[in-house]
């Protein structure tokens, strides 16, 4: 504690060893001396009035002149205000400080104890291995975190950031110098150069890598925390969001990826991580054998059961009844970290298991059941294995039962090989779910009952997300109804929803007649699938005209044909807001 004693006992403060580093006036250093003396007597919180009166007396109120010195010390970050309400120092007038309580900051105490805040770096020498290089890089990220914390702390002053920024600059220069002296390639440095990462992209990547090595699941993975790490003001934050959006280099080149979760305020937050292949190549640089992760699209070609779908839309793109949307939002909340932690703590859920949900989407054709299933999968960042249930029936007795087992056996085989959990979508599952025959029956009814029993058994033990779509809920066997924990109705859209559908689905760049009244189109009772079909058919009829122009009469004509059932052979589709 030599530095502490030297500081408080030095009569000529200008000649004290710490004076040059404090960047203070003589009067300001004397106040610091007084604060340190009180601190050593056990006082962490000190009244400004008492400190100034102890130093300058109470005569003639001359101590008031030194309130300016207190404010400067606050701005420099050597002392802070002990208040529960954050206050910007620049907005405080001097007299407001008089009856305030202050204390010494940890930065000042560290300077007092160690004698310097300057970064002490060893001589330049080659890196012995990639772990030594990582140590420097992680120390660099730690300092970026400190700068971010200071920017959020209104008690601190920019000089604190300047000091750390100087350290960062010195460290970054030293890292570059050591790399030049290192004969063998450092895997991480080579990767950063090969990918041509900009400095901010590099900091984001290193921050996520540090989280992996620390085996933590902290807030540094969140989008806002990563953006704050590389941003100096609000404008910078807005500009830097593009580094973590879809299509950015980091995400577009599969360097990092993210999971979306509902936060307590109803919004969706993103938690980022480094992709497995890149992470393994850095953590285990000596492992020459490349482990290729099998993907569903590679395996799907070898089977004839499922159609693999990579959804392009999420739940925000689908027009839904408010009650339907609420139910789906509750399902999405199952991926929230706090919800999962509660379920694991209660023994309801296994720590390693994902979402378990067996869902029925029911409603009239064209109300968006299939499209919503795709969009739900997209929101959960999953692919879809879709099966058309009309394929299951076979003219040979016994084949249908085998095919039911084959659906689930193939699904499990694919998920195990690829280590993924796609959504299993059973489209038009009416025949699976309908009431079973209970009286005397022939061979066909017995086969159908047997097929349903097998299906019921598979549903009972299914792990993952399964969505079955059907038109009629009232025909569903009670035993099946009990096995599904979500039964979500898809109602025909009301006029307000139809108006939104028409506005979103009408061609944006097409020519329209003057005073084209889309609200009139919304007055017709149609499903989203019907609106989609009518727009397409109207577009084809307009496109072949000499002077193509969209008008209400063309649309109304096709609406009439649709309502008369002229397009019954056409397959209705889901509806979007994109």
pLDDT of residue 573: 39
Residue 263 — φ and ψ, nearest 5°? -90, 170
pLDDT of residue 122: 58
User: Long-range contacts of range 319-326, CB-CB < 8 Å, 24 or more positions apart?
Assistant: 319/368, 319/493, 319/497, 319/500, 319/501, 319/504, 319/528, 319/575, 319/576, 319/577, 320/368, 320/372, 320/490, 321/489, 321/490, 321/491, 321/493, 321/497, 323/489, 324/372, 324/488, 324/489, 324/490, 324/491
pLDDT of residue 537: 92
pLDDT of residue 442: 58
Torsion-angle region of residue 119: left (phi > 0), alpha (psi -120 to 50) or beta?
A: beta
pLDDT of residue 82: 80
pTM for this one?
Answer: 0.52
pLDDT of residue 16: 65
C-alpha dist (Å) from residue 553 to 201, 263, 528, 560? 54, 47, 20, 10
Per-residue confidence of the chain (578 residues) as pLDDT tens digits? 777 887 777 666 666 667 777 778 888 888 998 999 999 999 989 999 999 999 999 888 999 999 999 988 887 778 888 875 556 666 788 898 999 899 998 878 888 887 765 555 556 788 888 888 988 899 899 888 888 877 765 444 455 677 778 888 888 888 999 999 898 888 899 999 999 999 999 999 999 998 888 765 456 788 888 999 999 888 888 999 999 988 889 988 889 988 776 655 555 678 888 988 888 888 776 655 444 445 777 777 767 788 888 888 888 888 888 888 888 888 777 766 677 777 777 877 765 556 678 899 988 888 889 999 999 888 888 899 998 887 766 544 556 677 788 888 888 888 888 878 899 999 888 777 776 666 555 566 777 778 888 888 888 888 888 999 988 777 777 777 788 888 888 888 899 999 999 998 999 889 999 989 999 999 999 988 899 999 999 999 999 988 899 999 999 999 998 888 644 434 333 444 43
pLDDT of residue 11: 66
In 231-336, which residue ranges form alpha helices assigned H by DSSP? Answer: 234-240, 249-252, 276-283, 296-299, 322-332
Residue 136 · residue 179 · CB < 8 Å: no
Tokens 């030599």, residue?
Answer: 2
What domains does the chain contain, in order, with CATH numbers?
2-114 (1.10.10), 130-283 (no CATH), 296-490 (3.40.50.300), 495-563 (1.10.8.60)
């Amino acid at each position: 504690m030599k530095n502490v004693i030297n500081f408080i006992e030095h009569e000529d403060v200008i000649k004290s060893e710490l004076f040059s580093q404090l960047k203070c006036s003589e009067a300001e250093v004397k106040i610091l001396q007084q604060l340190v003396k009180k601190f050593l007597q056990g006082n962490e919180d000190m009244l400004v009035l008492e400190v100034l009166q102890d130093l300058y007396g109470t005569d003639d109120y001359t101590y008031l002149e030194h309130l300016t010195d207190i404010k400067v010390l606050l701005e420099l970050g050597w002392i802070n205000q002990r208040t529960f309400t954050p206050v910007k120092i620049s907005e405080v007038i001097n007299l407001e400080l008089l009856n305030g309580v202050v204390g010494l900051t940890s930065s000042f105490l560290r300077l007092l104890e160690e004698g310097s805040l300057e970064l002490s770096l060893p001589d330049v020498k080659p890196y012995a291995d990639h772990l030594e290089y990582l140590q420097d890089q992680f120390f660099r990220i730690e300092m970026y975190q400190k700068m971010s914390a200071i920017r959020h702390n209104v008690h601190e002053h920019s000089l604190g950031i300047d000091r750390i920024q100087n350290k960062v600059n010195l460290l970054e220069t030293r890292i570059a110098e050591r790399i030049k002296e290192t004969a063998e390639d450092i895997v991480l440095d080579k990767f950063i150069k090969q990918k041509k990462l900009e400095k901010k992209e590099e900091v984001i990547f290193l921050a996520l890598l540090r989280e992996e090595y620390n085996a933590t699941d902290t807030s540094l993975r969140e989008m806002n925390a990563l953006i704050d790490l590389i941003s100096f003001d609000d404008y910078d934050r807005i500009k830097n969001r593009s580094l973590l959006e879809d299509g950015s280099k980091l995400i577009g080149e599969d360097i990092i990826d993210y999971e979306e979760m509902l936060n307590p305020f109803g919004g969706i937050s993103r938690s980022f991580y480094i992709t497995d292949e890149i992470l393994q190549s850095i953590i285990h640089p000596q492992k020459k054998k490349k482990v290729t992760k099998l993907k569903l699209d590679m395996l799907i070609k070898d089977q004839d059961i499922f159609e693999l779908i990579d959804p392009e839309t999420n739940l925000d793109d689908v027009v839904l009844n408010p009650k339907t949307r609420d139910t789906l939002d509750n399902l999405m909340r199952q991926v929230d970290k706090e919800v999962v932690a509660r379920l694991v703590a209660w023994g309801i859920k296994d720590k390693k298991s994902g979402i378990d949900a067996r869902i029925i989407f029911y409603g009239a054709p064209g109300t968006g059941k299939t499209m919503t299933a795709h969009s739900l999968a997209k929101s959960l960042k999953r692919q879809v294995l879709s099966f058309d249930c009309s394929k299951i029936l076979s003219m040979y007795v016994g084949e249908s039962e085998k095919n039911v087992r084959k659906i689930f056996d193939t699904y499990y085989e694919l998920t195990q090989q690829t280590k993924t959990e796609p959504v299993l979508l059973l489209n038009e599952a009416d025949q699976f779910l309908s009431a079973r025959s209970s009286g005397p029956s022939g061979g066909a009814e017995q086969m159908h009952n047997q097929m349903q029993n097998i299906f019921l058994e598979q549903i009972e033990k299914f792990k993952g997300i399964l969505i079955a779509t059907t038109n009629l809920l009232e025909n569903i066997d009670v035993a099946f109804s009990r096995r599904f924990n979500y039964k979500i109705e898809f109602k025909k859209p009301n006029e307000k929803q139809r108006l939104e559908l028409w506005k979103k689905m009408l061609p944006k760049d097409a020519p329209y007649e003057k005073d084209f009244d889309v609200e009139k189109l919304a007055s017709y009772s149609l499903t989203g699938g019907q609106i989609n079909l009518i727009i397409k058919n109207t577009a084809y009829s307009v496109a072949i005209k000499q002077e193509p122009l969209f008008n209400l009469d063309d649309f109304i004509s096709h609406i009439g044909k649709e309502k008369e059932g002229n397009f019954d052979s056409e397959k209705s589709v889901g509806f979007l807001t994109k």
